[in-house]
Amino acid sequence: MWNGPAGGTTAPTGYMRKSFNKIPFSLIKWPKGIYSEGAKTMGCQERGFPAAAGDGEDYREHQEAEAVLIGGPLAPRINGMVRFKDVPGGVEVFVHVEGLPPYQPAREGRPPVGPHGFHIHEKGDCTVGDPANPFTAAGPHWNPDHQPHGNHAGDFPVLFSNCGLATMTFFTNRFKVAEIVGRSVIIHENPDDYRTQPNGAAGRRRLACGVIKRKE
């Protein structure tokens, strides 16, 4: 539920919800070989991407998962959905979140509110815990290949709030859906700097959490 800006007009929430549910994943048709030269120079072919994207993949094994994001005590108006779909060479991620807090610039040594750090965290546990520092049960960023922060498999682009609404679609070749089921997605209060180690300034306080569940 998105209540609209204070004293403002009501957003067409019903419309957004309805249209969101109807949006299919925009299955990318990877033109064979179109990226192969670039991939060679970038060392991406060891990962089987993208020249060989889809080659040898069994499409019957392609999976989908979903996390319903619920705001915690610091941002109770947040609700949203993240969908994950296996596509050739990786996963397509589709995000729709409403009720994000208004942007506030950093001032007097306090960090800004928004754009919002956004990641997969290790544990699928959205227990609120301490209301002043919620969702710590979700653990750290999911980082299966021990990369520095900024290159964690679970490091996602930040969410920009547009009067509380953020939508985003992106592709990642860092995992398949089967690897993230049972983990969680977290929205943070602050932006991610993508470099503080291990994930210090990755948007400290946690606003919303959702457990990633397989979609049948």
Closer Cβ to Cu ion, 87 or 186, answer by number: 186
Helices and strands: H and E segment counts in the chain: 3, 7
Q: Which helix (H) or strand (E) holds 14?
A: helix 13-22
Cβ-Cβ contacts under 8 Å for 17 (sequence gap 6 or more): none
Q: Closest separation between CB of residue 208 and Cu ion, Å?
A: 11
> Which CB sits closer to Cu ion, 30 or 205?
205
Instruction: Assess 186 for contact with Cu ion (CB under 5 A).
Output: yes
Q: Are the C-beta atoms of residues 68 and 152 closer than 8 Å to each other?
A: no
The least distance separating Cu ion from the CB of residue 172, rounded to whole angstroms, comes to 15
Q: Count interface residues toward Cu ion (CB under 5 A).
A: 2
- DSSP-based three-state secondary structure for 114: coil
Rg (CA), the chain: 18
Tokens 């990642």 sit at which residue?
172
Please count the other Cβ atoms lying within 10 Å of the Cβ belonging to residue 123.
16
Place of tokens 């997605």: 185
Q: How near is the Cβ of 50 to Cu ion at its closest, in Å? A: 27
- Please say which residue, 65 or 138, places its beta carbon nearer to Cu ion: 138
CB 54 to Cu ion: min, Å: 30
**Least Cβ distance, residue 151 to Cu ion (angstroms):** 14
- Residue whose CB is less far from Cu ion, 52 or 174: 174
Distance CA 139, CA 129 (A): 12
203: left (phi over 0), alpha (psi -120 to 50) or beta: left
Residue 119 within binding range of Cu ion, rule CB under 5 A: yes
Decide whether 25 or 194 has the Cβ nearer to Cu ion. Answer: 194
Specify the residue, 51 or 208, whose C-beta has the smaller distance to Cu ion. Answer: 208
Q: Which residue is nearest to Cu ion (CB)?
A: 119
- Residue 183 lies near Cu ion (rule: CB under 5 A): no
Q: Is 153 in the site for Cu ion (CB under 5 A)?
A: no
Q: Is residue 177 part of the contact set for Cu ion (CB under 5 A)?
A: no
Q: Which stretch binds Cu ion (CB under 5 A): 25-33, 75-83, 118-126, 176-184?
A: 118-126
> Residue 33 and residue 97: Cα distance in Å, rounded?
35
Q: Name the residues that contact Cu ion, by CB under 5 A.
A: 119, 186
